[in-house]
Amino acid sequence: MRKYFFYFTLFLVGCSSNGDDGSTDTGTGPPTVAHIPEITSFALSPDTATFMDGDGTVVVTAEISVKDTGLDIQALWVRMPDGTIVEFGESLATETATFTEDIPMPTNQIGAFSVEIWLVDRAGDSSDIVTAQFHVVADVQVNDWTNRLSGLPRPLFDVVWNGNVFTAVGERGAVFTSADGINWMAIDSGTDANLYAVAADGPYVVAVGFELEGGPGIILQSTDHGASWTVMNRLTEVVLEAVAINASQVVVGGTRWGQTSAITMISEDRGETWRAVDSWPDEELPITDLVYGDGMFVATTNGLLREGEAWVTVSSDGNLWNEIAVSDEHAFLYSIFHDDGQFISAGSRGTFDDYWGAVYRSMDGLNWTRLQTPVNDVFYLDAASNGAKLVVAGAATCGYLGGKCVAQFNAPVGLSSTDGGVTWDVFNIDGDYESWGLAWGNGRFVSVGHKSMFPREGAIYTAE
């Protein structure tokens, strides 16, 4: 997580005299009664600001109403979103009062941030901690993407460009192809399996997934740019989620049904025969995506099963694999792609309750750097590049209403960069649309995914 340090001016307000002459009463008497201070209201104004890159800040006024029968409030403490604690000297002349303090809030991270306050009196007694929210919102670009296909009965999960045709795959055997990314044709895949990933080497296209009710993992292939499909293999109790192809090999990966153990299969005769790869470094490191580039297979993994670590696995021949550390952060790497001499992995970092989008880059698949990204409460599911512009997109994390996941409408689910991820433009594609797959081809970016949550309706968008 990008770390920001805030600098604050300490506002000292002199304590008014209460007429005490400084003498001490040494006589016996009733015990002193504690008068614990109370915060009756706390608000930030403004409580929302627009994202500004760099060192952008906005001065926010904190308005605090308090009550203290002891009239001995000494300090107001403020805990900022990064954990910094700031002290302001305060005093009361009456039992109830309202006072304000100005606080500079950063605007170079998008999301909702908590500011906590509490009072302490001269006796050392503290009030309860009270919290207010400050929101940094994106000045999102909503007109860059055009809807090409929507209202599909099933969501789409992945898309690939093979130099001539886009092929998109999704739930219950959904397959769509397009030569230009604008006009799409539904293709009969011959299966009701959920198809999660697709890869291509010229006209040869392979899609993988699994059949319903815990049925077998399935491998489909097409030799005519996705126009017709054949089931090449079924694997018992396996969920296949990743596929990569080079000129002589096809590698697929996933997990065993109901488990977290990884499974990797390889074919060296264009899908006619398959065998298990027995050199996977750790069965408890399941595969989430695969790519082939610069003579190397690279697989992303679910690092949430290893708290505090993120990993890829690499192989020069698809048979012998080795673990490579990407980061020492708690991370889930959802996808990987290769273009223009670099590998880009997109995903999320943080805990199950606090997601941050994450993008990692490597020039050789072995040494990785996390690119600084400006948005939280989002996870990136795929990435693509046209050589000049890098685009990543995904979905906003959900709020929960009545136990159901509620999509955050108009959330900034995407980023684009023309300087290799040094700076980013933030965008939304369309309302509650979630982007699950990205590809570049025929002069445009293509995103496949789904709109709405109940039910999920498949959709395809393009950006020039």
Q: How confident is the model over 96-120, as a mean pLDDT?
A: 88
* From the candidate CATH numbers 1.10.510.10, 3.40.50.2300, 2.30.29.30, 2.60.40.3880, the one assigned to the domain spanning 38-137: 2.60.40.3880
pLDDT band at 304 (very low <50, low <70, confident <90, very high): low
CATH 2.40.50.100 fits 146-463, yes or no: no
Higher per-residue pLDDT: 47 or 366:
366
Domain ranges of the chain: 38-137, 146-463
Question: Given a cut of 90, is residue 24 above it in pLDDT?
Answer: no
Determine the pLDDT at residue 17: 37
Residue 35 has pLDDT above 70, yes or no: yes
pLDDT score at 20: 43
- Does residue 196 have a pLDDT over 80? yes
Report whether pLDDT(237) > 60: yes
Give the pLDDT score at 26. Answer: 45
Question: End-to-end distance of the chain based on CA atoms, in angstroms?
Answer: 31
Question: Could you give the C-alpha distances from 230 to 200, 206, 207, 223, in angstroms and in order?
Answer: 15, 10, 10, 9
Per-residue confidence (pLDDT) for residue 353, from 0 to 100 = 57
What's the chain's average pLDDT? 84
Contact 399, 377 (CB under 8 A): no
Q: Could you give the angle at the alpha carbon of 16 between the alpha carbons of 11 and 21, nearest 5°?
A: 135
More confident residue, 391 or 32: 391
Task: Please state, in angstroms and rounded to a whole number, the distance separating the CA atoms of residues 306 and 322.
Answer: 16
The string of pLDDT tens digits covering residues 265-294 is 999 999 999 999 987 777 777 889 999 999
The mean per-residue pLDDT over the stretch 43-69 comes to 84
Res 15: pLDDT: 35
| pLDDT, tens digit (0-9, with 9 covering 90-100), for 314-344 | 999 999 999 999 988 778 899 999 987 899 9
For residue 412, the model assigns a pLDDT of: 81
DSSP 161-212: E-SS-EEEEEGGG-EEEESSSSS-EEE--S--SEEEEEEEETTEEEEEEE-T
pLDDT at 398: 60
pLDDT, position 255:
86
Predicted TM-score of the model (pTM): 0.72
Calculate mean pLDDT across residues 192-206. Answer: 96
The DSSP annotation for 63-88 comes to EEEEE-TT--EEEEEEE-TTS-EEEE
Q: Could you give the CA distance from residue 189 to residue 103 in angstroms, rounded to a whole number?
A: 59
**399 vs 188, more confident:** 188
Pick the residue with more confidence: 379 or 303? Answer: 379
Q: Which residues contact 39 (CB under 8 A, 6 or more apart)?
A: 64, 65, 66, 117, 118, 119, 127, 128, 130
Supply 198's token pair.
């697709």
Per-residue confidence band for 11, with pLDDT thresholds at 50, 70 and 90: very low
> Is the pLDDT at 13 greater than 50, yes or no?
no
The percentage of the chain sitting over the pLDDT mark of 90, rounded to a whole number, equals 54
Give Cα separations from 335 to 44, 63, 104, 190, 345 (angstroms): 39, 45, 37, 27, 6
pLDDT higher for 205 or 104?
205
Which of 388, 395, 381 is CA-nearest to residue 438? 381
pLDDT, tens digit (0-9, with 9 covering 90-100), for 143-176: 589 999 999 999 999 999 999 999 999 999 999 9
CB atoms within 10 A of CB 121: 21
pLDDT higher than 80, residue 242: yes
Q: Which residue has the higher pLDDT, 186 or 23?
A: 186
Fold equal for 38-137 and 146-463: no
* Residue 304, SS3 per DSSP: helix
55-59, 186-190, 366-370: range with lowest mean pLDDT: 55-59
